[in-house]
Structure formats: structure tokens, C-alpha cells
Amino acid sequence: MPRDIPVGNGNILVTFDNKYRLRDFYAPRVGRHNHTNGHIQRFGVWADGTISWVEEDSWKRDLRYRPDTLTTEVTLTNAGLGLELICNDVVDFDKSAYFRKVTVRDLLGTARDVRLFFHTDLSINGSPVGDTAYFDPDTSAIVIYKDASYFLINACTDSKCGVDHWAIGTTAIGGAEGTWRDAEDGQLGGNPISQGTIDATIGVNLLVKPNEEQTATIWIACGDNYKAVKDLNQRIWEKTPERLIARTEAYWKLWSLKEPVDTAPLPEPIRDLFYRSQLILRTQIDNGGAIIAANDSDITHFAGDHYSYCWMRDGALVAHSLILAGQSELSRNFFRFAAKCIGDKPFFLHKYTPEGHLASSWHPSTIDGKSVLPIQQDETALTLWALREHFLAFRDVEFIKPLYNALVVKPAQWMLDHRDHNGLPLQSWDLWEERRGIHTFTVAATIGALHAASDFAKDFGELDRAATFREGAERMKGALRRHMYHTERQQFARMAVPHEDGTYRLDMTRDSANYALFAFGAFEPTDPLVKAEMESLRDNLWCKSNIGGCARYERDYYHQVENEKTDDIPGNPWVICTLWQAQYHIDSATTKQELDLAMPLLQWCVDRTLDSGVLAEQFHPYTGAPMSVSPLTWSHATYVAICLRYIAKLEELTAKSNSKPHAAK
């Protein structure tokens, strides 16, 4: 089930499913730990002797955000109960606190006794073993803790602070479903403490006048000890949740609109998703610099692992979108994080945890008894390339200085050393992490990286080194053209596998990743070879259904839906692959008419979003339903980058048009 309306501040991330059930709660780092393990955290309403949980069919749900903010605007309507709820979820932009403000409106024209129930089923630090929950009389709140992770759950209304009633107990033991069952009579039992595999439910009572409304706010304060959460709770009481929510809303409006980008040329739906995508991708970025691929814990049930890691390829391309958007502090944090991860090595390994440790991997270090590097070389290359893009945008020499050796010189020299007799990179794993060989995507990314390293070396006065890097890039480009281009088919291979005699076996499977030929500067986007390649990719990988969109490659097996009509449905459509076609139209455009070929592809993304603006990794080719993880950080970042590239290219074409001399009359 896709995650919707994520809210966060770079330390805390909270996600919901499409039934408005809180599902993931990460703290104190985005992507680690998930203190719910994806378990359902329920929210219910009792009125007139009846309890109803918001996932029930009797509720009409509308999940959105307030414009240009990370404050949700969730409308819940239950005709049977005669109630409407407006819920605003937010994580304070600075403090470690999550809020849910609930405004309850009577629809029946009678006075109502309404009780809200907020249920938590935590597995602190990813495990339910050894958790403790107790009622704390000093704060009139529930405290749940283990080790150095503390959570204080409290509430207030317009007239009082503190929970009105509570239940604490065990769950998943002896058939116990959880303390939320205790809410069915409208009153919680009040057990003072429990330990082990526990859960807790708090209740807040409201008296709602006919056709009027009452408000309650529930919050979770997070910290590493009891004093920290108690002090934070006191601050919330003193400042009031209303003020803290309002200041956070103002902060995110300032953040998302800080750059003077003229988005007027974008149609309103595309423009709205541009701003929304920036905010959503920000929720997936840890303040320590790690750019997390996705934080949808449901993928764990499919793959036995999750996406809550930093892949340097994803990170570099997301960082590039942040650079284009002017978010320089976030890109700087990523490159500092990258320097920490690479350490003394000249290359990156598979992926990293939010703390910068090596994460789980399926890349072997031996194949057929021979040692191999368990790497995807494009991750190293793209980080170097993106660092150069950052420098060109911000010219922050002092920032680059301590990174120059670790992220530029050593990786570039390694890329030169890590070549075969023709000047192509030695074999590594592809960007899809599925096959080992010499990949067009990797070669093109490496060419871009070596050019970036050459430019850096020239800036730093190392002219001999600059020449060496540039010569290596040019030789690699020639080798790509000679050895990975199929003359008869007039297409580039997606992969070359070397034979013992020094020749290559070419894999000619159509793969969207070949957009890299122009994306990182290996070839010009107007090159006839690039034009033919991109047209071939579009013709072969476009899903010929009412949904459309570009697949990753022919016969893509990942979450495969269509097993037979491979000519019509080569694979599920992906956001990034569809937008790579848009990037080609933009980068190669010489007229406004050519540029506007990108616009339907941007609109395709708008049409695929949830109501909140969340984009998944891929979609069902017949229903358009989101598949795999949602939101995918890379999807939103690519959308942001393509919008900005469109605006920049439009300005360029307009300037050229205005500078042409007018014909004499």
C-alpha cells in the first residue's frame, strides 16, 4: 500500500497509508529507526455510543496538503456518525515533535459527546522486545521508551491539557489485538504500565455544540531520555501547539518559494506538482546528508529488505535536482556525507545506511572463484559529476577544498586505472543492480565524471592531471562509439560483456538507461546517434495502453504485470524513465515547438499522482495504480529537475529569438 502525505523535518519522518493510518515513524534519522515496523497505528472516533475507526468503509477520506507546505489537510466525513473531521498533521520544522490537530464539526444539528482515540503500536528501534509504556502523572501523558528512545504522547483541547483516559497493554500475545479494542465503549481502562510487546491508546473528550466545531491536538514528543521529552512537552504547552504548527507552516512556505524561479510558463497542475515534489523529496532527506531512496516499509514484505538506504547514484541525481532548485545546503550535506562514506577507498560500495555505514548488499566479491569489486561504478562517477555541477552553480571554493582529494582526484584516477585495453571501464553492476558487464549508462557517466575531474584539476592549477583526465574521457568516448554501437541496427548496446579474446558480446536489449549518452555530456543531445537512440527507446519502451509511460527495459521482470504482450507492455511504466524522454526533448530543442514535446510527459506525471501529489516508483500499466515504493525520492527529484530544465531552456530560446536581427521592411 503506497505511503501518502509524508511529513518530516530531516530528523523525523512520519508516513501514512491511503486510509490515513500512520504506518511509519522514523527518528532520530530519516530512514532509521522505523519505530512502527510498518504496523498500523489506528485513529478512531466515538459518538452517540458508536466507535468507528477511520479505515472503515463508512468514512469518506480526502488526503491532501495545505498549499506549499508540509502541513496536511485531511478531510474525514462519516455520514452515519454525522461528523466531519479536518486533520492537520505536521512535524515541527525544528523540534522533535509530531502534531495532529483535529477539528470536529457536528453535521446533525445536535449537541454531541465526541471522543477521539489515538492508538500507538510501537516497535522501538525496530523491535517490540523490551518496550515499556506507562502513564506519567507529571505530564498527564503516556510515555513509551526503550534504551535511548523515548516517546511522550499527549493532547490538549481549547479548555484543558493532558489525556482524558488511556489504555496500556500487550499486543500480538495470547490473541490480544491491542488496546484499541478497549475504546469500543468510549472509555479506556487506565492500566498504569506494561512492558514487552506493548501498545497504548489515548482518549480525548470533546463536547461539540449543534452545527459547531471543537478542536483537539495530539502530539508525540521524541527524545533520548525522559527529561528531554518532558521538557519538550512543557515547551509545547507553553508555546501552544497552534503556534508551533503555524510557524512550521510558514517555514515550509519560505523554504519552497525562496528561489525567484519564474514558473509562470508551466501550466498550473504541472507548477503545483513542481513545488509539491520539492517538499515531498525533502521529507526523505536526513539532516546528516543521506538522501534516502524511499521509506515505504511495505516493500519489506516483498523483498525482505527496504529502500531506507542511500544509494550514491540516487543521491547524486537527487542532489543535482537540489542544485538546480538552489537548495545548496542540502547538496553540501550530501557531498559531506559522501566523503564520509567513501573513506579511504577511491570508489563507493553498493549502498549506505543513514549513519554512513555500509548497508546490506547482494553484490558478490567473488565470481567463478575470482575476486571482483562488488560495485556499481556509475555511483562513484555520478557523485563526482554532481559535485562539479554543484560547484558551477555556487562557486563555493572553501567547501570544495576538503573534498577535492576524496571525491575528485582519487576516484578519477581510479576510473583511469580501472579500464580495459580499449579504454572502457572494467565490468561492474548496472544501475538496475541486476547484471554485471560494461554498461552504456556507466560508460557515459564515467565520461562525464572524468571531464568534471579535468575541469576541477584545471581550476586547482594541476594542468598535467587535468590533461590526463580529459584524454581518458575522450578515449573512453571513442571506445564507446567503436565497441558499443551496433552499426547495422544503428543503436547502442545497453551492455557489453568481454570475451577472452578481447572482443565483446553486445546485449542489444532496449534500456531507458541509455539516455545517459547525452545526460552527462558524453555526446551532444543533438547528435544524430543520440536522436536515433532516444527514438528507438521511445518506440520500444512506451507502454501501449491507456496508461502509457516508459518502461525501464524490454521484458522488465520487477513487479511484472504483463507476462505475454511484451510488444505492447515491455514493462511497468516508471516516472524516471518517462521523464528521461522529456529531458531529451528539452536538451535537444532548438525551437519552442520542439521544447513543448516535453510537456505531455510532465502532465503524464501529474496524472499519475495521488491526490496529495505523491509519486510512486512505477505504475500498473493497465490501472495506473502505484506499484513498488511510494513516494520514490528519485521520481520527485527528476520531476523537479525536468521542470527547471524546461524553464531554463525556454528562457534560452526566447533570448535567442529576441536577439535575432529583424528583417528590413
CATH code of 124's domain: 2.70.98.10
Task: Tell whether the model's pLDDT for residue 10 goes beyond 80.
Answer: yes
Please tell me the total count of domains within the chain.
Answer: 3
Is 409 in the same domain as 551? no
**Over residues 557-567, mean pLDDT:** 80
**Over residues 7-11, mean pLDDT:** 98
Residue type at position 623: T
Is 581 in the same domain as 558? yes
**Over residues 3-23, mean pLDDT:** 96
Whether residue 547 is contained in a domain is answered as: yes
Is 213 in the same domain as 264? no
DSSP one-letter string for 57-76: TT-EEEEEE-TTSS-EEEEE
Binning pLDDT at 50, 70 and 90, where does residue 657 land? confident
Is 217 in the same domain as 337? no
Whether residue 293 is contained in a domain is answered as: no
- Identify the domain boundary among 541, 575, 603: 541
The pLDDT, as a whole number, for residue 269 is: 97
Tens-digit pLDDT profile for residues 178-195: 899 999 999 999 999 999
Whether residue 303 is contained in a domain is answered as: no
Tell me which residue of 288, 289, 308 sits closest to 298, measured CA to CA.
Answer: 308
Whether residue 376 is contained in a domain is answered as: yes
Binning pLDDT at 50, 70 and 90, where does residue 664 land? very low
Is 387 within 8 Å of 335 (Cβ atoms)?
A: yes
- Identify the domain boundary among 248, 268, 296: 248
Output the 3-class SS for 425-436. Answer: ECCEECCCCCCE
Is 216 in the same domain as 337? no
Which structural domain range is residue 509 located in?
310-541
Tell me which residue of 442, 512, 453, 515 sits closest to 479, measured CA to CA.
Answer: 442
What residues contact residue 288 under an 8 Å CB cut-off, 6+ apart? 29, 333, 337, 354, 355, 356
The pLDDT, as a whole number, for residue 658 is: 87
Is 360 in the same domain as 448? yes
More confident residue, 128 or 402: 402
Task: Tell whether the model's pLDDT for residue 568 goes beyond 70.
Answer: yes
The pLDDT, as a whole number, for residue 649 is: 98
Share of the chain above pLDDT 70, in %: 97
Task: Tell whether the model's pLDDT for residue 73 goes beyond 90.
Answer: yes
Which DSSP letter does residue 424 get?
P
> What is the gyration radius of the CA atoms in the chain, in angstroms?
27
Q: Cα(315)–Cα(286) distance, rounded to whole angstroms?
A: 11
Whether residue 242 is contained in a domain is answered as: yes
The pLDDT, as a whole number, for residue 2 is: 81
The helix, strand and coil proportions of the chain, stated in percent and rounded to the nearest 5, come to: 35, 25, 40
Cell of 586: 528539452
Where are the strands (E) in 540-633, listed by range?
550-551, 573-574, 618-619, 626-627
Whether residue 253 is contained in a domain is answered as: no
Q: How far apart are the first and last CA of the chain?
A: 65
Question: Other C-beta atoms within 10 Å of 253: how many?
Answer: 18
pTM of the model: 0.96
Task: Report the alpha-carbon angle 75-76-78, nearest 5.
Answer: 145
**Over residues 41-59, mean pLDDT:** 97
Is 124 in the same domain as 40? yes
Task: Tell whether the model's pLDDT for residue 567 goes beyond 90.
Answer: no
- Residue written as cell 532548485? 325
Is 194 in the same domain as 264? no
Own/partner contacts of 274-277, CB < 8 Å, gap of 24 or more, are 274/639, 274/640, 274/643, 275/68, 276/65, 276/612, 276/613, 277/613, 277/615, 277/636, 277/637, 277/639, 277/640
Is 164 in the same domain as 267? no
Q: Give the 3-state secondary structure of residue 3.
A: coil
Is 491 in the same domain as 584? no
Tens-digit pLDDT profile for residues 240-292: 999 999 999 999 999 999 999 999 999 999 999 999 999 999 999 999 999 99
Q: Cα(497)–Cα(50) distance, rounded to whole angstroms?
A: 66
Whether residue 83 is contained in a domain is answered as: yes
Is 31 in the same domain as 156? yes
The pLDDT, as a whole number, for residue 171 is: 83
Is 61 in the same domain as 201? yes
Task: Tell whether the model's pLDDT for residue 302 goes beyond 90.
Answer: no
**Over residues 341-370, mean pLDDT:** 96
**Rounded to an integer, what is the distance from CA 213 to the centroid of its chain?**
36
Whether residue 300 is contained in a domain is answered as: no
The pLDDT, as a whole number, for residue 177 is: 80
CA distances from 317 to 255, 376, 523 (A): 20, 15, 19
**Rounded to an integer, what is the distance from CA 451 to the centroid of its chain?**
29
344 class by beta-carbon count within 10 Å (0-12 exposed, 13-18 middle, 19+ buried):
exposed
The pLDDT, as a whole number, for residue 604 is: 98
Q: What is the CATH number of the domain that holds 439?
A: 1.50.10.10
Tens-digit pLDDT profile for residues 192-244: 999 999 999 999 999 999 999 999 999 999 999 999 999 999 999 999 999 99
Is 66 within 8 Å of 172 (Cβ atoms)?
A: no
- Identify the domain boundary among 526, 541, 556: 541
Q: Cα(599)–Cα(586) distance, rounded to whole angstroms?
A: 10
Task: Tell whether the model's pLDDT for residue 173 goes beyond 80.
Answer: no
Is 253 within 8 Å of 279 (Cβ atoms)?
A: no
Question: Other C-beta atoms within 10 Å of 201: how many?
Answer: 28
Task: Tell whether the model's pLDDT for residue 106 goes beyond 60.
Answer: yes
Cell of 302: 516483498
Cis peptide before 631 (omega within 30 of 0): yes
Q: Provide the mean pLDDT of the chain.
A: 95
